[in-house]
Structure formats: C-alpha cells, structure tokens
Amino acid sequence: MSIRKQRIAKRLEVLGLAFNGQKIGGKYTIGSATFKTLDEIEAYIESLEQANEQQSVVETVKTETWEDRNRDAALQYQLEQANEQQSVVETVKTVETWEDRNRDAALQYQLEQGMSKSNRKPFNDRAGYVASKKNPITGISNVIYVASEQGIESDSKYVTVCEGHKQMISSTSIPKARIDMKDASQWCSECQGLSLLKVS
C-alpha cells in the first residue's frame, strides 16, 4: 500500500472505518460508500473529520452548559440558604426587640409606680389635711390634702388621695376635690377595676 493510502487508512481508522486500498469493480469501497479516486476519499474523510470536530465542539458547549447550570443551581441554593439564615436572624431580632420593649415597658411601669409612691411623705402625718370620706370600694378613706403641705408635687393646689391604693388626682378647688373624693373609681385605676368587677 502506498504511503498516501496508508495515511488514508489511518485517518479512516480514527473515524471507525476500514480501508484496504483495493479497488473492486474500479471503485474503492469504504463502509457503504464507493469512491473512484483517492482524492474523493480524502475529501470524504475531510468532511467526516470536520463533522466530528463540530460535534465535539457541540458536546463541549453542552458540557459547559451543564456545568453552568450546576453552577447556577449551586449559587441559587447558596443564595436561598443565605436568605433563609437572614430571615432567621431577622425573626430573632424582631423577637428580641419585642422582648426588649416589654422589658422596657415593665421597667417604666415599675419606675412610675415607685415614683408615685416615693414622691410624697406618708399620709399618716395628716399635714395639709382638708377633708376625708370613706371610700365604699376600699373601706378606707379618700382624703383631700393641700398638696404642698402634704409634700406632694402637683400642678394644682389640692390633691385627693385614695388611701387604699395610694393613687391620687389633683384639683384646683376644694369643691372639685370633694367630687373626686366621693368617687375614686373615676380616677383611681384600681378602684375603677374593682367597681367594674362589682357591676359585672
């Protein structure tokens, strides 16, 4: 076999085709195809090789596409995981904030309660006493005082105190204070709660 035919045989072998270099009936037979000349065979091989090359390019692209898809999926997954963690963090933050608010409110309430009790002297010294009346809700007196004499900080001259609950209301005159003295449920929250309980 000539060197040319040997080369053709090698190229065809790579393509999975056999070539014996023999003409039968005036033609070379390769697979199911027949050729009159070696030039035709080489052109045929050329076209097969080009087709194979394009095929391998297509397969390379396909592989890249799959890698891209996997990479995208991986990124998407990471993103979703990150989002999930973020939402967990936000939920924890929100809960903590609400707990903080409740704690703050509780402290504020305790502070206000403490202040209302500590801002004045005990009532038993009766300083600034004006009048008193038994509170039917508590069984203990409601007492009108001149606020400054009792040592109570007040925006008005008089204060009426529910002695049972240590809550008070200020008033500008004794007649007004007397109205307060008669019904502590109008300004003492605890008396109001008790009176509502009695009604229901």
Element (H, E) at 182: helix 174-182
Q: Is 27 left (phi over 0), alpha (psi -120 to 50) or beta?
A: beta
**Cβ neighbours, 10 Å, residue 61:** 10
Compare residues 34 and 195 and give the one whose CB is closer to Zn ion.
195
| Minimum CB distance to Zn ion smaller for 41 or for 152 | 152
- CA distances from residue 199 to 81, 140, 182, 196 in whole angstroms, order as listed: 57, 20, 18, 5
Whole-number minimum distance, CB 149 to Zn ion, in Å?
A: 22
Q: 34 or 138: whose CB is closer to Zn ion? A: 138
Which residues are at the interface with Zn ion (CB under 5 A)? 162, 165, 184, 188, 190-191
- DSSP one-letter code for 58: H
Residue placing its CB nearer to Zn ion in the complex, 45 or 184: 184
**Nearest approach, Cβ of residue 116 and Zn ion (Å):** 13
